[in-house]
């Protein structure tokens, strides 16, 4: 029986914390974090050695989601579109 989820100390909250820069990324990263947890036998829930790459990614993404630098405004016509569809040789 799961009666709500027990909040372990140090666990990121399911909902984006106040001041979170990117709530969507937070939720995605939090879900990934949830799926990759250490078990008692030093393996991850995904059966890879702990910490598995996905767990590390989740942690990085959570940090990034919380503290993302403001995106640079895209300026139309800044000269990059001319190369769309073909790569420089």
Nearer to Zn ion by Cβ, of 43 and 67: the residue is: 43
Q: Is 52 in the site for Zn ion (CB under 5 A)?
A: yes
- # residues near Zn ion by CB under 5 A: 5
Q: Report how far residue 86's alpha carbon sits from residue 89's, in angstroms, rounded to the nearest whole number.
A: 9
Smallest distance from Zn ion to CB 70, Å: 31
Contacting range for Zn ion; rule: CB under 5 A; set: 13-21, 46-54, 56-64, 67-75 = 46-54
Largest CA distance in the chain: 60
Q: Are 26 and 20 in contact (CB under 8 A)?
A: yes
Q: What angle do CA 28, 31, 34 make, to 5 degrees?
A: 150
Q: Report how far residue 56's alpha carbon sits from residue 81's, in angstroms, rounded to the nearest whole number.
A: 35
Q: Is 58 in the site for Zn ion (CB under 5 A)?
A: no
Give residues with Cβ within 8 angstroms of 69, minimum separation 6. Answer: none
One of 36, 62, 65, 66 touching Zn ion (CB under 5 A): 36
Q: Is 57 in the site for Zn ion (CB under 5 A)?
A: no
Q: For binding to Zn ion (CB under 5 A), which residues are involved?
A: 36, 44, 46, 52, 54
């Amino acid at each position: 029986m799961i009666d709500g989820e027990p909040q372990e100390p140090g666990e990121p909250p399911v909902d984006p914390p106040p001041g979170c820069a990117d709530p969507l990324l937070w939720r995605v990263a939090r879900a990934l974090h949830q799926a990759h947890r250490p078990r008692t036998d030093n393996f991850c829930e995904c059966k890879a050695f702990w910490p598995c790459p996905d767990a590390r990614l989740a942690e990085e993404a959570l940090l990034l989601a919380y503290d993302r630098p403001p995106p640079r405004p895209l300026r139309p016509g800044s000269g990059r579109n001319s190369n769309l569809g073909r790569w420089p040789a």
